[in-house]
Amino acid sequence: MDLQLSPYEPLPAPAERNGELMEVGVDSLHPTQMCVGLAEIKHRIEDFKAESKKARRDYLRTKPVPVARSSDGQLWMVDRHHRLRGLLEVDPKATAWAYVVLDVGAASPEIVLQALQQRGWLYLYDGRGLGPLHPSALPGTLLGCQDDPFRSLVWKLKREGVIEAAPLIPFHEFRWGAWLRRKALPPFSSDRLDPALPAARAYARSTAASRLAGWKG
């Protein structure tokens, strides 16, 4: 699998948008990626279940979602897919906080997706790493995202401190997942990561991975 992601513009941080936040319904957000790692989703679900509603809202305000907005007010989320997919599983009517990183002066979804693609803000590979697919193949809601076990594997490596976060790089974890897909790993799944973890840790720490953002060695 030879995944070639296009060059990207870094995502603006909330402070770069004057800290203006708006409350949005999570079920109304359009994804900009085909898949998620279900291991992370399950972890997010347990976290949200353990919180009070007030603690959840306070937390979500500290993790606003960068969105692109069409002229008729539709929103495409450019990050936070895992967090909010987990939230939807707990509360289908949940809201979250968002900030606009791109205003598109058109209502057409095709024009919005084109603007996002030009900035490298779409991930058009499916759960098996196949693509790029046409932007029209993106799921309509977060609940339509496929599982990508390699995305789950990278999430686990981040939790272990093997890989550092790079929050302003679009699809940072998928870039790592695409790299690991080329490596010899034993069979694994999002529900059963352990067989692949020893080899994945070794690959992620090797100098061969040093060109990837978040490499720690």
- Domains observed in the chain: 20-147 (3.90.1530.10), 149-209 (1.10.8.10)
Q: Any idea what the Cα angle at residue 123 is, between residues 162 and 36, rounded to 5°?
A: 55
Task: Give me the mean pLDDT over the 151-161 stretch.
Answer: 98
* Least reliable range by pLDDT among 4-8, 96-100, 153-157, 198-202: 4-8
Please, what is the average pLDDT of the chain? Answer: 94
Which of 68, 66, 64, 84 is closest to 76 using CA atoms? 68
pLDDT score recorded for residue 16: 66
Task: Give me the mean pLDDT over the 56-76 stretch.
Answer: 96
d(CA 87, CA 63): 13
Query: Could you give the percent of the chain with pLDDT greater than 70?
Result: 95
d(CA 108, CA 87): 28
pLDDT score recorded for residue 7: 78
* Residue 1 predicted with pLDDT over 80: no
d(CA 77, CA 57): 18
**Which of the four pLDDT bands, split at 50, 70 and 90, describes residue 4?**
low
H-run or E-run covering 164:
none
Q: Can you state the angle between helices 38-50 and 149-159, rounded to 10 degrees?
A: 60
- Per-residue pLDDT of 30-54, as tens digits, reads 999 999 999 999 999 999 999 999 9
H-run or E-run covering 25:
strand 22-25
DSSP state of 215: B
Residue 4's identity, in one-letter code, is Q
Confidence (pTM):
0.93
Task: Give me the mean pLDDT over the 105-112 stretch.
Answer: 97
